[in-house]
């Protein structure tokens, strides 16, 4: 973390929050609980554009962060991977939305086709990484709604968190196959592809 990061309490790695919590484990717990309560109320729907993503983020994190729903103002990288430069966030999301419109929002696709196409979309949304924190949860709800409107029953409880992180890292390097497999697994009745045994 950058010591000059305006989102953090000085001298710490804890995000400034409305609750005044300065301990990372307590903040993580409060964030999970409050976001889950907001999610249970119902997630905002939209046109699968940046405004839609921002509405979901605001809804989830409005009780915790003053910047809920706002685009990040700092550059971000994780595990050596640079996310979209902040000045290109809106451009990146416009391109993703343009692709969704051109693909009829991934409707009339088989589960396999949807998983493959959605992996490219969500992998690229993750690369854009519009928010200082909470991108992952926001993207998954965006994905759940995308699947639903495309006619697929989507069960996020089938998602393997560790595999999803690996899939996100791979997508950052333009390998969307792992993410497609995880998305396929979340579609009711679809099994995760097992890796072939080694020699």
One digit per residue, pLDDT tens: the chain, 199 residues?
446 899 999 999 999 999 999 999 999 999 999 999 999 999 999 999 999 999 999 999 999 999 999 999 999 998 888 999 999 999 999 999 999 999 999 999 999 999 999 999 999 999 999 999 999 999 999 999 999 999 999 999 999 999 999 999 999 999 999 999 999 999 966 665 554 334 3
pLDDT in the model for residue 192: 56
Q: What is the CA radius of gyration of the chain?
A: 17
Collapsing DSSP to helix, strand or coil, 81 comes out as: strand
Which of 3.40.50.2300, 3.30.300.30, 1.10.3290.10, 1.10.1740.10 would CATH assign to domain 24-186? 1.10.3290.10
Nearest to 190 by CA among 160, 164, 152, 161: 152
The sign of the torsion formed by the CA atoms of 21, 51, 49, 74 equals negative
Collect all residues with Cβ–Cβ distance below 8 Å to 17 and sequence separation of at least 6.
27, 30, 31, 64, 65
pLDDT in the model for residue 114: 98
Residues 111 and 193 sit within 8 Å (Cβ to Cβ): no
Residues 93 and 130 sit within 8 Å (Cβ to Cβ): yes
Its pTM stands at 0.92
């Amino acid at each position: 973390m950058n010591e000059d990061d305006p989102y953090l309490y000085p001298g710490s790695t804890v995000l400034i929050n409305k609750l005044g919590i300065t301990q990372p484990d307590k903040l993580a717990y409060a964030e999970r609980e409050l976001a889950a309560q907001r999610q249970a109320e119902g997630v905002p729907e939209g046109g699968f554009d940046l405004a839609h993503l921002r509405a979901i983020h605001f809804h989830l994190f409005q009780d915790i962060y003053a910047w809920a729903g706002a685009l990040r103002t700092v550059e971000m990288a994780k595990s050596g991977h640079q996310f979209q430069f902040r000045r290109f966030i809106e451009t990146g999301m416009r391109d993703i939305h343009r692709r969704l419109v051109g693909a009829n929002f991934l409707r009339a696709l088989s589960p396999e086709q949807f998983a493959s196409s959605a992996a490219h979309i969500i992998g690229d949304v993750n690369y854009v990484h519009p928010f200082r924190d909470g991108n992952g949860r926001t993207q998954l709800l965006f994905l759940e709604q995308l699947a639903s409107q495309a006619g697929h029953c989507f069960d996020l409880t089938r998602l393997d968190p560790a595999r999803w992180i690996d899939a996100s890292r791979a997508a950052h390097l333009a390998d969307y196959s792992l993410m497609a497999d995880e998305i396929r697994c979340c579609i009711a009745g679809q099994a995760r592809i097992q890796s072939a045994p080694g020699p």
